Amino acid sequence: MICGLRRWQAGATQGRGHARPIASEALLLGWPGFDSSAEEVEEAGSRPACNAMRSIAGRHLDQFNNHMLTPEQEQWINHLSDTEKVSVIPFDPTCDGKFLKIKELIQSVLGFEQSVEHRGASSLGISGQDEIDVYVPVPVEKFDKVISLVTDLLGKPRSHYPLKRARFVKYVEKKHIDIFVINQEDVGWKDCNKFHSFLLSHPQALDSYRKLKEESAGRSVREYYRRKIEFINEVLSKISEV
């Protein structure tokens, strides 16, 4: 799965030949797992950790685009369109309010103790593809029950990977919102959180990510996601080294 960008891919429960956006399914698409989170790296305070973090934060975005993709990521990338173009818009400051409406709606069914997380470009305050990514992390033993409850609330999922994740779609004031029920132990969700936390705590890296997205406007969907995943892989690999 991927954190925070519109995807074009046939879903597990979708008919063939039907192109559709899949938000946040790139980061959750088989990232390698790492033991320490970005927060743990920060708290460790070791000199190697600090150096590694600075090496990412201070690097020009072109230097991020050389990290190899995994075979699974290459396979996924090659299924994306190389003719359809990506549109990137400036950050929409109304996103936080719209996210809160969705959070309240979901918690009205699942309970207010249920975590509902805002991720993707809109959660980082940067340019994106005019959508909001929402994640509902749940224990694996509750996964099927939660899917059933959210299906009653939002309708049939647009994609469903058993005991891993399911994607639902909702619109709030014409804003496209992708809602993912996700196994909280899934490696993709854990890496999504590492990447998100790192960008929030390293403004230079976040700015490089913003520039990558803005400079990718007008590129093909396939090229856009290749550049994005290479960037994410590079950040995760550096986090894993410290």
Give 45's pLDDT tier (boundaries 50, 70, 90).
Answer: very low
204 three-state secondary structure: helix
Write down the pLDDT at residue 67.
Answer: 61
**Cα atoms in the 13 Å half-sphere on the side-chain side of 59:** 18
Sheet holding 175-183, edge to edge: 117-119, 131-138, 175-183, 165-172, 159-161
238 vs 99, residue with greater confidence: 99
In tens, the pLDDT along 2-35 reads: 454 344 443 333 333 333 333 334 444 433 222 2
Q: Is the pLDDT reported for residue 137 higher than 50?
A: yes
Question: Among residues of the chain, what percentage have pLDDT more than 90?
Answer: 68
Model pTM score: 0.75
Domains parsed from the chain with CATH numbers: 38-241 (3.30.460.10)
For residues 140 and 234, what is the distance between their CA atoms, to the nearest angstrom? Answer: 29
Q: Is the pLDDT reported for residue 43 higher than 90?
A: no
From residue 240, give the alpha-carbon distance in Å to each of 18, 36, 197.
37, 7, 14
Mean pLDDT of the region 206-220 = 97
Question: Chain-centre distance of CA 83, in angstroms?
Answer: 23
In tens, the pLDDT along 151-196 reads: 999 999 999 999 999 999 999 999 999 999 999 999 999 999 999 9
Write down the pLDDT at residue 158.
Answer: 97
Residue 17 zone, left/alpha/beta (φ > 0; ψ -120 to 50; rest): left
For residues 27 and 195, what is the distance between their CA atoms, to the nearest angstrom? Answer: 9
In tens, the pLDDT along 104-124 reads: 999 999 999 999 999 999 999
| Mean of pLDDT over the chain | 80
Give 241's pLDDT tier (boundaries 50, 70, 90).
Answer: confident
For residues 5 and 17, what is the distance between their CA atoms, to the nearest angstrom? Answer: 21
